[in-house]
Amino acid sequence: MPRYAHITGWGKYIPPGILTNHDLAKMVNTSDEWIRERTGIAERHIATAKETTAFMAIHAARDAVEVADMDPAKIDLIIVATATPEHCFPATACLVQDAIGATRAGGFDLSAGCSGFGYALATATGMIRSGMHNAVLVIGSETLSQLLDWDDRGTCILFGDGAGAVLLQGKDEPGGVLATSLGSDGSGGDLLIVPAGGSKHPASVETVTNKMHYVRMNGREVYRFATRVVASAARQVVQQAGWTFDKIDLFIPHQANVRIIDSAAKALKLPPEKVFVNLERYGNTSAASIPIALCEAIDANKVNPGDHLVMVGFGAGLTWAACAVQWSAPKRRALAAPRAFTRLRYGWFGLRSLLSKLFRHLDALLSRIIDFIERRPPAV
Ligand code: ACO
């Protein structure tokens, strides 16, 4: 029996701290006018030390679970798309799993740069359609601000922090994520790269001195790649879904540069009212940009039941990912659980996690004591 992957919940977390173009002009040789004109960005949100990738992912995930009115224990899998995971390992997804009480869920992180959300959505959809899983939480969460060289005006003006999440559930009614298209071209890997911190260049005095843990980008080449790939990926996924472009109600592209978005919209002959743009306030939040934009589009009443949506991401790899979604969730559902109950529930999940840690320590201590007693020479 065919199963369809429907988006039933969504949520986002935006750190309150704002860095404007004027703030940046005090840090590097740039201006509000240059940044607005070349990118369309006016300000971006920057996370504090407390607002880590996992922290933001957890908040976005909780909202998505609540909107879907889902018991977290029924989630089968959590995928966190991120270029800025909490640690090399464990996966950020496992930290989310613990914090939201998804006791039966597997979890892994997915690395595909700014295309990560599209890759994760495609992976989750495949798993649901194959019958392997029924409920998959897909999150894009990024703290790119931690990887920026704040002396490099070519990159530090572009990025911001944030997280967005969707819950996908399998249903028999047609709709939801109907087509996906993924692509990559590793020959352009060096065009957008954080050279160190992996196994090739582990952290050393030399990597730190040479600023190899920061984002390095050939902006002009990435721009050329993006303007080429966004329209072609959109065309491919629309064709796969069996749609035509006049059917598209909303195009939600990766929010990197308004000139890239305008050029794609022009190539696809999409009028401005069918193209969602919010990068003026967020900059490029990498894998979080499309789910944040989706949440804002829903809040702005731009997404309605039956609508045909196309999302296209592109980024490091080089990678690209396009998805065609027939929206099926009821219009603007209120959060299902009352706030106090929700706080209590997540408080309990936190306590349960602490107790698990405590029992693990006690268990280890007990084993050591038993070992010690068993190995002790018998008293004469
Ligand atoms: N302020 C003022 N001047 C600047 C700045 C700045 N912030 N940055 C660069 N310049 C200067 C350059 O030094 C250059 O000066 P020069 O002519 O004297 O050498 C001039 O402006 C033009 O530079 P370009 O790089 O040609 O500027 P361009 O119009 O291409 O804009 C930009 C640069 C905004 C980076 C653009 O290339 C871009 O958006 N590229 C795509 C980047 C992108 O989307 N990356 C994310 C991909 S997603 C992911 O996976 C992370």
The answer to whether position 362 is within a domain reads: no
Calpha distance 353→330 (Å, rounded): 34
Is the per-residue pLDDT at 1 higher than 70?
A: no
Threshold 0.85, pTM exceeds: yes
pLDDT at 331 over 80: no
**Cα 38 to middle of ligand 1, angstroms:** 7
Hey, how many other C-beta atoms are within 10 angstroms of the C-beta on 122? 23
Å from CA of 152 to ligand 1 middle: 11
Token readout for 312 is 């296209």
User: Exposed/middle/buried for 312, CB within 10 Å: 0-12, 13-18, 19+?
Assistant: buried
Convert 75-89 to b/e letters by CB count within 10 Å (16 or more is b): bbbbbbbbbbbbeee
Domain that holds residue 321: 4-326
CA 116 to chain centre: 7
Q: What are phi and psi of 192, to 5 degrees?
A: -150, 105
Strand 308-315 versus strand 250-253 pairing type: parallel
Nearest CA to ligand 1 atom 41: 223
The C-alpha angle 364, 370, 376, rounded to 5 degrees, equals 135
Looking up residue 110, the CATH number of its domain turns out to be: 3.40.47.10
Residue whose CA is closest, atom 24 of ligand 1?
220
Which atom of ligand 1 is the closest one to the Cα of 30? 1
Rounded to a whole number of angstroms, the CA Rg of the chain reads 22
Q: Is the preceding omega at residue 137 within 30 degrees of 0, hence cis? A: no
Cα-Cα end-to-end distance for the chain = 73
Q: Are the C-beta atoms of residues 117 and 292 closer than 8 Å to each other?
A: no
Q: Which atom of ligand 1 is nearest to the CA of 254?
A: 48
Average pLDDT over the chain reads: 94
Q: How far is the CA of 282 from the centre of ligand 1 (A)?
A: 17
- Taking only the tens place, the pLDDT of each residue in 205-221 is 999 999 999 999 999 99
Residue 115 lies in a domain: yes
**Residue 204 domain flag:** yes
Which residue from 151, 223, 261, 289 has its CB within 8 A of the most atoms of ligand 1, so it is best to mutate?
223
State which of 220, 224, 286 you would mutate to test the pocket of ligand 1, scoring each by most atoms of that ligand within 8 A of its C-beta: 220
Report yes or no on 320 lying in a domain: yes
297 close to 306: Cβ distance less than 8 angstroms: no
Specify the residue with its C-alpha closest to ligand 1, atom 47: 315
Q: Is 366 helix (H, G, I), strand (E, B) or coil?
A: helix
336 within a domain of the structure (yes/no): no
| The length of the chain, given as a count of residues | 380
Work out how many domains the chain is built from and give that number. 1
Instruction: Tell me, yes or no, whether 310 lies in a domain.
Output: yes
Residue 168: Cβ within 10 Å count: 28
Q: Determine which residue's CA is closest to atom 29 belonging to ligand 1.
A: 38
Structural domain includes residue 365:
no
Using the predicted structure, report yes or no on whether residue 169 has a pLDDT greater than 90: yes
What are the tens digits of pLDDT across the range 89-107?
999 999 999 999 999 999 9
Closest CA to 59 of 251, 375, 288: 288
Taking only the tens place, the pLDDT of each residue in 243-290 is 999 999 999 999 999 999 999 999 999 999 999 999 999 999 999 999
Does 337 fall in a domain? no
Catalytic positions, written as ranges: 114, 254, 284
Evaluated on CA atoms 116, 119, 125, 131, the torsion sign reads negative
- pLDDT, residue 300, reads 95
- Residue 185 phi, psi dihedral angles, 5° rounding: -145, 90
For ligand 1, which residues put their CB under 6 angstroms from it? 30, 34-35, 38-39, 113-114, 153-154, 157, 192, 217, 219-220, 222-223, 226, 256-257, 284, 286, 315-316
